[in-house]
Structure formats: C-alpha cells, structure tokens
C-alpha cells in the first residue's frame, strides 16, 4: 500500500479534488499530528466563520478527539470518518496516515458528502 506520507504531492491533489466536487464545500485541509494546517484551506470567495486563532484551536481540538477515539480501535475497529453536523456547518474528518483530512461544508442533510470523500481518498491509498 502506498502511504500518503511518502507522497506529499497527493495532499494537494486530494484537497483540490474534494474542493471541486461540491459547491457546498467551504474548507478542505490536511492537518498534521501537531495540529497544524499543512495543505489546503478555505474556498476562495467564501467568508470564514472563525478567526485564524480560532482555527488553530479547532484543529487542536480535532486532533484530540481523533487521539481519544483511537483508544478503542482494538475493540471496535478503526474510525473511517467522523462528522459533526452543526447548525451552520458540517465538519468531517478522515484519518490518512499520521495526518487528518478536515473538510467543512454547508450543512448536508443527506450526508452524501462523507461517502463521496471516502471514495476519493481510497483512490490515493
């Protein structure tokens, strides 16, 4: 299996492909294991709902949630993706190697976006 960590150029390709797949998508980014954005960002022309400092806190909190969920991987299996449907946005996270793909969209009541994104990721790993 090819690891994305060995092919960092794939981060850009994944972010670009996901950003273009649906007009509801607001943000696509790869977050490293220190909670830093290493690729991607906000869709051009879309207003942000949080400040850069708040974004840092969001990324750190996301990483903490992922680490806590990993405590149960042996018993329950690895998490394929996680999502939070908020009043204003839908947050989705997908673990890729030691990084996290974080996607934010307008609310998606049918929850079709996570499945589409999983299909895109599977083409790279």
Overall average pLDDT of the 108-118 stretch? 79
Q: How far apart are CA 71 and CA 63, in angstroms?
A: 13
Percent of the chain beyond pLDDT 70?
90
Residue 2 pLDDT: 36
Domain encompassing residue 60: 4-122
**Domains in the chain: how many in total?**
1
Looking at the predicted structure, is the pLDDT value of residue 1 above 70?
no
At residue 25, φ and ψ (nearest 5 deg) are: -70, 130
pLDDT band at 7 (very low <50, low <70, confident <90, very high): low
pLDDT mean across residues, the chain: 88
Overall average pLDDT of the 25-41 stretch? 95
Give the CATH number for residue 51: 3.30.450.30
Whole-prediction pTM: 0.84
pLDDT tens figures, 55-108:
999 999 999 999 999 999 999 999 989 999 899 999 999 998 889 999 999 987
DSSP letters spanning 65-108: HHHHHHTTHHHH---S-EEEE-SS-EEEEEEETTEEEEEEES--
């Amino acid at each position: 299996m090819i690891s994305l960590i060995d092919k960092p150029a794939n981060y850009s390709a994944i972010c670009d492909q996901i950003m273009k797949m649906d007009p509801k998508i607001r943000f696509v980014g790869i977050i490293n294991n220190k909670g830093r954005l290493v690729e991607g960002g906000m869709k051009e022309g879309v207003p942000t709902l949080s400040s850069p400092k708040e974004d840092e806190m969001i990324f750190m909190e996301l990483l903490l949630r992922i680490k806590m969920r990993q405590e149960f991987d042996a018993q329950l299996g690895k998490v394929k993706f996680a999502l939070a449907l908020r009043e204003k946005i839908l947050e989705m996270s997908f673990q890729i190697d030691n990084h996290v793909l974080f996607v934010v969209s307008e609310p998606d009541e049918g929850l079709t976006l996570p499945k589409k994104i999983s299909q895109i990721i599977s083409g790279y790993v």
